[in-house]
Amino acid sequence: MPVIETRGLRKSYGGLQALKGVTLTVERGQIYGLLGQNGAGKTTLIKILLGITKLTDGDARLLDAPAGTAAVRARVGYLPEDHQFPGYHSGYSLMDFYGQLYGVSRDDRRRKIPATLELVGIAGRMHSKIKTYSKGMKQRLGIAQALLHDPDVIFLDEPTDGVDPVGRKEIRALMAALKEKGHTIFLNSHLLGEVELICDRVAILQRGELVREGTTAELTAQKGVFEIGLAPGQTFPEAAAKALGYAVRPLNPAATLWEAGLGDGQSIDPLVRSLVEKGLSLRHLVEKKVTLEDVFMSVVEGAEPGTDRRDRKATAVGGGNR
């Protein structure tokens, strides 16, 4: 069964529609990325899945149970955005506190806390006060508390916020390792490059609606544009390619790499056959891609603000609901 599943999910606050019939499925062992502008409905969706907010209509299931089921929440880890931990705690004492809330036994806490803090790279500071931690260290501590009870599903809201590039790479490696162990990760992030590197599937929410969804390869494929490279010393038959109806142009001054654009209903196969028939060696053929950021901007550029914003002035400068 899917780990996360929504069908026609709707959430309204009076006349304000935060979610407008969202349907998505997350399979076990996936890293699933959720993207959207501030106010698109991402946090509303997560709160419904966690049972913090009740849905208005539709269906939401988590680990094959209705969203919000108490027994299921014990199998979930959650890192909220902009979390705040009491500065008087040390990293160890905070983890011990959360471990008790999670129902982890004292012996297991003593064993697992150092190991989990080591996993996120702050074991050496586990007995220091949190008030002495940098923002990146606090973020690592937040990830650690979400992992302590070995949850099946982990919701991470901006997990690399405030973390330096080396730290972001380490957190990506950590997420990949968790995936290999069978954990499912539901990820919110504004760092689209990070999402593109780590996520198996990506969904884009806009004003409460799911407007794009698929693998990163599916979303970033630039349909109908190919890069073609021949063996060294061979000349690309530009005139012959144009005679077949392809829009071609060199991609570098040496003309060793070419771009071929397809017309409506056209396939790349006739051009490939023509090259082979001419005795040319095809060394490079790939459908060109755009970045996930390009895809995201094409969806949201010029769009109106999200519908679940409560404080439009605050969200205009990056705060408020997400």
Q: Looking at residues 64-75, what average pLDDT do you find? A: 91
Percentage with pLDDT > 70 across the chain? 93
In a shared domain, residues 261 and 175? no
- Name residue 126's amino acid: M
Domain boundary at 177, 193, 218, which?
Answer: 218
Answer whether residue 238 shows pLDDT above 90: yes
**C-alpha distances out from residue 3 to 94, 144, 181, 182, 225, Å:** 29, 22, 15, 11, 36
| 41: containing domain | 4-218
In a shared domain, residues 211 and 226? no
Do 9 and 48 touch, CB atoms closer than 8 A?
yes
In a shared domain, residues 20 and 48? yes
In a shared domain, residues 239 and 192? no
In a shared domain, residues 213 and 254? no
Answer whether residue 313 shows pLDDT above 60: no
- Which pLDDT does position 301 carry in this prediction? 65
Work out how many domains the chain is built from and give that number. Answer: 2
Q: Looking at residues 179-204, what average pLDDT do you find? A: 92
pLDDT in tens, 4-18: 999 999 999 988 899
- Which pLDDT does position 305 carry in this prediction? 54
Answer whether residue 309 shows pLDDT above 80: no
Residue 308 is assigned to a structural domain of this protein: no
**C-alpha distances out from residue 68 to 47, 65, 271, Å:** 9, 8, 55
In a shared domain, residues 108 and 167? yes
CATH of the domain at 53: 3.40.50.300
- Does residue 108 or residue 264 have the better pLDDT? 108
Residue 271 is assigned to a structural domain of this protein: yes
Take residue 71 and report the two structure tokens written for it.
Answer: 């027994």
In a shared domain, residues 213 and 226? no
- Which pLDDT does position 223 carry in this prediction? 74
Helix, strand or coil, per DSSP, at residue 60? strand
- Does residue 301 or residue 319 have the better pLDDT? 301
In a shared domain, residues 79 and 200? yes
Helix, strand or coil, per DSSP, at residue 131? helix
- Which pLDDT does position 221 carry in this prediction? 78
In a shared domain, residues 214 and 228? no
Helix, strand or coil, per DSSP, at residue 138? helix
Residue 249 is assigned to a structural domain of this protein: yes
Average pLDDT taken over every residue of the chain:
89
| Residue for token pair 């570098």 | 252
pTM across the whole model: 0.77
CATH of the domain at 266: 3.30.70
- Bridge partners (DSSP) of residue 79 are 156
- Which pLDDT does position 307 carry in this prediction? 46
Residue 295 is assigned to a structural domain of this protein: no
- Which pLDDT does position 193 carry in this prediction? 86
In a shared domain, residues 213 and 270? no
Measure the CA–CA gap between 65 and 59, rounded to whole angstroms: 11
